[in-house]
Amino acid sequence: MICFRSVKGHKMKKILVTGATGQIGSELTMALRDQFGADNVVAAGHSRQPLPNLQQSGPYCQLDVRDSSALRQLVEDYQIDTIFHLASLLSAVAEEKPQQAWDINMNGLLNVLETARLHDCAVFFPSSIGAFGAGTPAIDTPQDTIQRPSTLYGITKVAGELLCDYYHQRFGVDTRGLRYPGLISNIALPGGGTTDYAVDIFYQAVKNGHYDCFLGADTQLDMMYMPDAIDAAIQLMKTDGHKLHHRNAFNITAMSFTPRQLAAEIQKHLPGFTLAYRIDPVRQTIADSWPRHMDDSAARAEWGWQPRFNLSKMVGDMLDKIALKLSKG
């Protein structure tokens, strides 16, 4: 039996963010609190210490998403109607701890979906360019294409996309998701991803004027500045569900560049900046299996996706924000 609930009328009133202390979660939580009220957005983290503003500006609790009883109790206590499920191990860390990554990434998601089914919650699930593999077209990667990733992280993302689709089709849970490119933030520090160089390079450029990159000079990857990533998640969840043909998950992108190109843009602001390469074979292999540029026309057509930041605008803003941050200690 296939059950469909109406998704058109879903309104976010009480929101739970899992993985709230991570790179996306720490900024998404604050943006949601700005829009929906601080008391209406519950931040749930696990092992990473939360930023002070995250803990002090609204409800915060510790949660292991593998603990289904604790998750359901939290949803009941706060009368949650929407879950942004961000808790996971990222690509490089997942390769070091594949069994733990499967446990957190898959069993955690299953617990969230089951809780959503029982309590009529909508669910946002972030997928990734890691959900593709070497057999996927690397240029203008289609929305619907072959997905045969070679990493544990990518495998959990493909399985997660399918599981979210299943819970929508089978149980009527309002599931939605995005395939994020590499994300660049001036607030949260990197958390073990393959594209982390594109964050760390800015700190090293400002502090030391030099960076040793763990990816090759011409490794082109899709990237996005965090403000666009946050806007996309919230915009997708606000969209009338009847307009969505795809759900889990939409390709989105904003810019595509190599370490060499990023360094050249930084050098426009810091002429003395230098870059060298100390390639990490594990992360280089992962990056080589990912798309260089995704086709995000489905997101643009179905819910009006449009990024605000290109490479030059992002670099200027990152350097300004990080210089200010480091000057304050």
Average pLDDT over the chain, rounded to an integer: 93
Alpha carbons 267 and 269: distance in angstroms, whole number:
5
The pTM of this model reads 0.91
Q: For residue 64, give the nearest of 51, 76, 47 by alpha carbon.
A: 47
pLDDT at 10: 60
The pLDDT of residue 2 is above 50: no
The residue-averaged pLDDT of 275-281 equals 96
pLDDT at 5: 44
Q: Which domains does the chain have, with CATH numbers?
A: 15-182+225-251 (3.40.50.720), 184-222+255-293+309-327 (3.90.25)
pLDDT single digits (tens) 175-185: 999 999 999 99
The one-letter code for the residue type at 259 is P
Rg (CA), the chain: 19
Report the DSSP pairing between strands 274-277 and 122-128: unpaired
pLDDT single digits (tens) 178-232: 999 999 999 877 666 788 899 999 999 999 999 999 999 999 999 999 999 999 9
The pLDDT of residue 6 is above 70: no
Peptide bond just before 188 cis, omega within 30 deg: no
Active site residues: 153
Q: Which two tokens stand for residue 297?
A: 């026309």
